[in-house]
Amino acid sequence: MKQYVFQFDENRATPETIILLGNKGAHLAEMTSIGLPVPPGFTISTEACVKYYDAGKKWPMHLKEQVRSAIGETETRTGKRFGDSANPLLVSVRSGSYVSMPGMMDTVLNLGLNDEVVKGFAKRTGNERGAYDSYRRFIQMFGDVVQKIDIARFEHELERIKETKGVEYDTDLDADDFKSLVRTYQRIVREETGKDFPADPQLQLELAISAVFESWNTPRAVSYRRINALRDDAGTGVNVQAMVFGNMGEDCGTGVSFTRNPSTGVKEHYGEYLMNAQGEDVVAGIRTPKPIDTLKEVMPGVYEELLKVYDLLERHYKDMQDFEFTIERGRLYLLQTRNGKRTAHAAVRIAVDMAREGLIDEKTAVMRVKPEDLDQLLHKQLDPVAKEEALDGGRLLAKGLPASPGAAVGEVVFSAERAHLLAQEKRRVILVRTETSPEDIEGMHAAQGILTSRGGMTSHAAVVARGMGTCCVAGCGDIAVDERRGVLVARRKGGEKVTVKAGDFITLDGSTGEVIRGKIPTVDPELSGDFGTLMGWADSHRRLKVRTNADTPHDAEVARGFGAEGIGLCRTEHMFFEGERIKAVREMILAGSVDERKKALGKLLPYQREDFEGIFTAMDGLPVTIRLLDPPLHEFLPQEEKDIAELAREMDVPVETLRRKIGELQETNPMLGHRGCRLAITYPEVCEMQTRAIMEAACAQHEAGVTVHPEIMIPLVGHVNEIKVLKEIVTKVADLVIGETGIKVAYRIGTMIEVPRGAITADKVAEEAEFFSFGTNDLTQMTYGFSRDDVGKFVPEYVEKKILPVDPFQVLDQEGVGELVRIAVEKGRRTRKDLKIGICGEHGGEPASVGFCHGAGLDYVSCSPFRVPIARLAAAQAALKEKEEEKGKRR
């Protein structure tokens, strides 16, 4: 006889039983089998469901008798009887397929009640109201799921009785109300079905099982499977389980518990419970639950049992568990257990502790922490209690994009100059702008946090702030910034407007995007010993190197502190904006002749050299990749009439000349315009000056005992001839400097791969380039044809409509952009076997993208300093996953 029905203790959770019993059934089996006190019950296999359909919606042979016998077994194990009004067995009947399809299929609870049984149930629980409430719920659920009666009919009656009594909530109804409601419901069933509500529990059960079978093919279930590409022929299992009640008296109760503290990670018993209550009561917060430890005195036996459960759960699941329990007449039951949610802090501690305890190995510990979560550990956070109070107090002004994590408190300023000024007086400021521009760099550096009303997650403000590790809330459309008047106006939910003036204090939460009025205390980041231990383990497993994107000695030092193994991208243009330099840059741009241009560049040379000296020192012994000037020149000139006039005065040129020059530099699509290596080809003097600054700095630092590894990176190469021409210039100047100083410093010349053509013709480009660095920001822009500055108009809609699974500027698009990366790696290495390849776009610090880079065979990723630990962990996880998969294949 084919077995369709399995007691929970007959199986374990394996890939095979998950197919046979469904996911829920298999896990109930697992819990039961390892000795956890799970209420008894059984699972009808998915096979039975498939047979049911095959046979034109008929039960397969022998199923009915197997169910009957299984119910008998459940009666034996619970000591209760189905349909027995003295000590009734009530059961739940739940669906469950091989993959969880939450809410898509049907469930019936409290099955086994009828007019007789309910009386016994009321007596035994001492809770007549509760018993009849359960009964009317059962009829309603059964009527809906099994008998397909419009649920509105039942709800309408419930509303009516409340109206009649003049009350608002269900809780205001008493036992008699529910008794009356039961009668009404039974009448509805009669009217709708032409028959009495079935009183026979056995019949109830069989009808409910059929109904669960049928729910496999409800339109919403079918469409869910289509969307998620699930098998249509798998069928659902049916789980029939004894109901337990924590509200049957003072020897009953219910609670939730964690095997370790989910907030701190400390190994202690954490949780709370309520006596004589049901699960909902704990959540509803009507009574205050008690801490789990106090159960020791109240029910020492149950407490002893609970201790064993903690131990059993962790030994078995090898992770911190979050479980629900019910105590029915002094007996402990577990209804569910799952891996517990935890803070980043706790995640690290638990992983390290469990490895030390020998529960898991180091590799598993490394896999246990989500790389993204490390962000929380590396930045200041708002004190959670104080923040909650502030929000409860209505101090939330608006919510923007969580553009750069951390927390910041300070007085509002509306200009970069003012931010810089106040910061020098040691005042803490928040820089508030419509959007930021490269000219604001100094002010952004000086600010505790940055708030903009426009721009997305990859706007200037967001990118720069993440690079600096400064908290930033961007694109906060609910505030209007009036920089001239020095006020911001927040439109709060409901339309109320709140005005904040310069000098007022606000608080930013860069991890959530919240903007809050006034000050909130912050908590400093604490890179505990456990963090260091875990990162050490991670480092021992990863293959990818992790470098950082840093433009200043300070950023380089911070990143090195976070474990950066070199600089993957040093943008030289950011250096051009500070103080006196911007003047020389503008002179260079406005130069009427090559000689004038060279003169202006001569002024910039010492600044650049100094920057590079500091960076080489900070990265002593590690490689430093410096990118030559990249942005279009118009970015260095003012656009506002007022500023143009001022600059004209300053530079002593006619306003008209300046305006014309600025006009000439305007471009229709600056992203695809005169920038990157194209600038260096038109103005080789700039490339010469930068090379000289790099090499003079390298030689000087080498002489001073620093180990330098300069790598000169030529941006935006699409054709090998571009790098060929520029490599000649760079080599000429570099060798000249080496000749002049007599100090032999080795250097490499490479390119960014950020133009699709560069990737497609990587075999040619590699004839000249000694290294590649994927600039995936621009590569994504050009591969998609998406301007990062303009996608705000449609990419959010694309993601919402699921046209794109995710914003490709956040997570590397492995199918499209990634294919270009794979092509470039393959073609590049075909030409030059030892080609060094990295990535320096924003994706270099995004865990999924780091995983992709590992798989694509890159040598390193480079990301902003504060994302270095995230990338290290993600790289380790990618390496471990790969090993695991290889093992899997070998098996």
Residues 6 or more apart in contact with residue 563 via CB below 8 angstroms: 535, 539, 546, 868, 869, 872
CA distances from 38 to 34, 106, 332 (A): 10, 22, 9
DSSP string for 652-698: T--HHHHHHHHHHH--SSGGGSS-THHHHHH-HHHHHHHHHHHHHHH
Closer Cβ to its own copies, 710 or 775, answer by number = 775
Q: Contact at 8 Å (CB) between 788 and 842?
A: no
CB of 457 to its own copies, least distance (A): 16
Is residue 815 at the binding interface for its own copies, with CB under 8 A as the rule?
yes
Residue with tokens 């200037």: 460
773 makes contact with its own copies (CB under 8 A): no
Amino acid at 266: V
**What binding mask, one character per residue, do residues 728-767 give for its own copies by CB under 8 A, x or -?**
--------------------------xxxx--xx--x---
Cα-based distances in Å from 421 to 304, 428, 650: 64, 11, 22
Name the catalytic one among 840, 843, 853, 863.
840
CA distance 697 to 213: 75
Question: According to the binding rule CB under 8 A, does residue 688 interact with its own copies?
Answer: no
* Nearest distance from C-beta of residue 791 to its own copies, angstroms: 8
**Among the listed residues 293, 667, 728, 735, the single contact to its own copies using CB under 8 A:** 667
Please report whether residue 64 would count as binding its own copies according to CB under 8 A: no
DSSP codes joined into one string, 45-75: -HHHHHHHHHTTS-PPTTHHHHHHHHHHHHH
To 5 degrees, how large is the angle CA 646–CA 648–CA 652? 120
CB of 700 to its own copies, least distance (A): 34
Contact residue for its own copies among 790, 826, 885, 886 (CB under 8 A) = 790
Q: Is 853 a catalytic residue?
A: no
Edge-to-edge order in the sheet of strand 321-328:
290-291, 270-275, 253-258, 321-328, 331-339
Do 682 and 625 form a contact (C-beta atoms < 8 A)?
no
Q: Judged by CB under 8 A, does residue 781 bind its own copies?
A: yes
Q: Is 460 a catalytic residue?
A: yes
Asked if residues 470 and 462 have their Cβ atoms less than 8 Å apart, the reply is no
In terms of CB distance, is 801 or 891 closer to its own copies? 801
Interface segment toward its own copies; rule CB under 8 A; list 217-225, 513-521, 778-786, 877-885: 778-786
**Total residues at interface with its own copies (CB under 8 A):** 49
User: How many C-beta atoms lie closer than 10 Å to residue 241's C-beta?
Assistant: 21
Considering the complex, state which of residue 9 and residue 819 has its C-beta at the smaller distance from its own copies: 819
Q: Considering only 212-220, 259-267, 499-507, 661-669, which stretch makes contact with its own copies by CB under 8 A?
A: 661-669
Catalytic-role residue among 269, 460, 843, 854: 460
Q: How far apart are CA 422 and CA 443, in angstroms?
A: 10
What's the residue count for the chain?
Answer: 891
- Which residues lie closer than 8 Å to 418 by C-beta, 6 or more apart? 429, 443, 502
- Residue 581 in the binding site for its own copies (CB under 8 A): no
Residue entry with tokens 């016994």: 120
Give the shortest CB-815-to-its own copies separation in angstroms.
Answer: 6
Q: Is residue 868 near its own copies by the rule CB under 8 A?
A: no
Site for its own copies contains 802 (CB under 8 A): yes
Backbone dihedral region for residue 661 (phi beyond 0: left; psi -120 to 50: alpha; all else: beta): alpha
Q: C-beta of 799: minimal distance to its own copies in Å?
A: 11
Residue 813 as a binder of its own copies (CB under 8 A): the answer is yes
Kindly tell me which residue out of 487, 725, 736, 738 binds its own copies, with binding defined by CB under 8 A: 725
Query: Interface with its own copies by CB under 8 A: which range of 181-189, 463-471, 594-602, 714-722?
Result: 714-722
Q: How far is CA 676 from CA 137, 571, 717, 753, 755, in A?
A: 70, 12, 8, 12, 11
Span of 267-275, 283-291, 356-364, 808-816 interacting with its own copies by CB under 8 A? 808-816
- CB-wise, 244 or 687, nearer to its own copies? 687
Q: Are strands 623-627 and 567-571 parallel, antiparallel or unpaired?
A: parallel
Q: What is the DSSP string of 216-251?
A: TTSHHHHHHHHHTT--TTS--EEEEEE---S-SSTT
Given the rule CB under 8 A, which of 277-285, 306-314, 488-496, 800-808 is the region that contacts its own copies? 800-808
Options 327-335, 504-512, 717-725, 865-873: segment touching its own copies (CB under 8 A): 717-725
Q: How far is the CB of 682 from its own copies (least distance, A)?
A: 6
Q: Which residue has the tokens 């997570």?
A: 811
* Of 180-188, 228-236, 777-785, 860-868: span binding its own copies (CB under 8 A): 777-785
Q: With binding defined as CB under 8 A, does residue 671 bind its own copies?
A: yes
What whole-number distance in Å separates Cα of residue 876 and Cα of residue 871? 8
Euclidean distance between the first and final Cα of the chain, in Å?
35
Q: How far is the CB of 475 from its own copies (least distance, A)?
A: 15
Stretch that binds its own copies, among 315-323, 397-405, 664-672, 829-837 (CB under 8 A): 664-672
Interacting residue with its own copies among 484, 793, 887, 891 (CB under 8 A)? 793
- Work out which of 438, 525, 816, 855 binds its own copies, going by CB under 8 A: 816
Distance of CA 322 to the CA centre of its chain: 21
Q: Which amino acid is at 649?
A: R
Q: Which of 352, 812, 817, 878 binds its own copies (CB under 8 A)?
A: 817
* Smallest distance, its own copies to C-beta of residue 591, A: 16
Nearer of residues 592 and 739 to its own copies, judged by Cβ: 592
Q: Which of 803, 806, 883, 886 binds its own copies (CB under 8 A)?
A: 803
> CB-wise, 46 or 459, nearer to its own copies?
459
**Pick from 670, 731, 736, 810: which binds its own copies (CB under 8 A)?**
670
Q: Catalog residues that contact its own copies under the rule CB under 8 A.
A: 667-674, 678, 681-682, 716, 718-719, 721-722, 725, 754-757, 760-761, 764, 778, 781-787, 789-791, 793-794, 797-798, 801-804, 813, 815-817, 819-820
Active site residues: 460, 840
